[in-house]
């Protein structure tokens, strides 16, 4: 069979053209991605280089987050930040997480004027964070308070009996690895846990008394776990004023000399897609699409673990789980 030389040459030329356009398309996409990321970084940096009021969102369950603590350190060092609004919408979380945030924000308050705004809810460790500010505002119907500490643990002894599983342990001492999840809590274990909770609770109450200028007896009276509206919290001197962010900024201007009409810039460790240019959004979603193909099976597996189980140790949170309603 004769070979059509012209057809063969045409095929080779076509392959070369297809390869060229594939490579060119890849390069264009890569350049667009790099340019989009660089542009977004530049815009973000520019807004934080000029004079502004920094907004720090504290939202959801509070845990010890090193990225947030590093961000607060960066805000403290920024000459462009003239004041800080801590924007709180959290039911609380781990006591150590609240403590770490409180300490970092107190260090920040030594360098910048800091005000706290409690939005829908700011209870337990969420209220602890608010105490770091020198002025606290909340809405009339904000839910706040719930000052206290909780240690909760489950017991599945009956379930294990039902399925025919018996747990045994050899311990170096009776209180080692107590409480466990497969045997009744002993009086000694309960006493140990009560000692831990009371120690943490007394520290929290002392913080409330110190920061809100209350005598110890009054602070302890308010620290019975009750929740209050913003209006009732104002009556009890747990907050300073009723209002939202505008009220908080008014205080920065009138009491701390922060220049009026400065822009409020959100500082966060999480990317806000709504603030990104269109090209950057496309780049971001493209990357997410590729990543989700690989990571979705892992994320689905993580979803089998209830969020509450990740809060280990002493907890200061309002309604952490249903177990809190049945605590002994």
Active site (catalytic) residues:
124, 176
Residues 6+ apart with CB under 8 A from 246: none
CA angle 89, 93, 94 (to 5 degrees): 145
Please check whether residue 116 is in contact with residue 129, taking contact to mean a CB–CB distance below 8 angstroms.
yes
d(C-alpha 116, C-alpha 99), whole Å: 16
Q: Which of 194, 187, 154 is nearest to 312 (CA)?
A: 154
- For the residues of 44-60, what is the DSSP string, one character each? HHHHHHSSEEEEEEEEE
Give residue for tokens 């209830």. Answer: 306
Q: Report residue 173 as tokens.
A: 């001492």
Please check whether residue 84 is in contact with residue 113, taking contact to mean a CB–CB distance below 8 angstroms.
yes
- For the residues of 259-289, what is the DSSP string, one character each? PTTPPEEE--SS--GGGS-HHHHHHHHHHHH
d(C-alpha 109, C-alpha 104), whole Å: 9
Which SS3 state, helix, strand or coil, does residue 208 take?
A: helix
Beta pairing class for 114-123 and 143-145 = parallel
Q: Which of 278, 273, 276 is nearest to 47 (CA)?
A: 276
Q: Which of 233, 229, 264 is nearest to 246 (CA)?
A: 264
């Amino acid at each position: 069979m004769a070979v059509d030389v012209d057809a063969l040459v045409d095929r080779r030329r076509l392959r070369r053209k297809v390869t060229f356009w594939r490579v060119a398309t890849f390069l264009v996409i890569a350049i667009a991605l790099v340019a989009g990321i660089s542009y977004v970084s530049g815009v973000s940096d520019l807004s934080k280089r000029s004079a502004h009021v920094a907004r720090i969102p504290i939202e959801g369950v509070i845990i010890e987050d090193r990225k947030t603590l590093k961000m607060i350190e960066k805000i403290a060092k920024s000459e462009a930040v003239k004041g800080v609004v801590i924007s709180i919408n959290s039911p609380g979380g781990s006591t150590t997480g609240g403590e770490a945030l409180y300490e970092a924000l107190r260090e920040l308050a030594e360098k910048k004027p800091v005000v706290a705004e409690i939005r829908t809810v700011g209870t337990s460790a969420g209220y602890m964070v608010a105490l770091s500010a020198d002025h606290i505002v909340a809405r009339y119907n904000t839910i706040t308070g719930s000052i206290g500490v909780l240690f909760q643990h489950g017991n599945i002894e009956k379930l294990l009996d039902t399925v025919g599983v018996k747990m045994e342990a050899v311990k170096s001492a009776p209180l080692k690895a107590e409480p466990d999840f497969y045997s009744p809590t002993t009086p000694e274990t309960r006493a140990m846990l009560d000692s831990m909770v009371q120690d943490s609770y007394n520290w929290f109450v002392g913080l409330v008394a110190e920061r809100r200028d209350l005598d110890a007896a009054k602070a302890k009276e308010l620290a019975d776990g009750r929740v209050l509206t913003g209006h009732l919290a104002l009556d009890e001197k747990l907050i300073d004023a009723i209002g939202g962010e505008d009220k908080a900024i008014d205080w920065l201007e009138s009491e701390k000399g922060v220049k009026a009409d400065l822009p409020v810039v959100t500082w966060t460790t999480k990317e806000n897609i709504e603030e990104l240019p269109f090209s950057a959004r496309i780049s971001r979603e493209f990357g997410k699409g590729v990543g989700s193909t690989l990571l979705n099976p892992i994320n689905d597996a993580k979803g089998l673990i209830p969020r509450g189980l990740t809060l280990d140790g002493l907890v200061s949170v309002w309604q952490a789980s249903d177990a809190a309603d049945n605590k002994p």
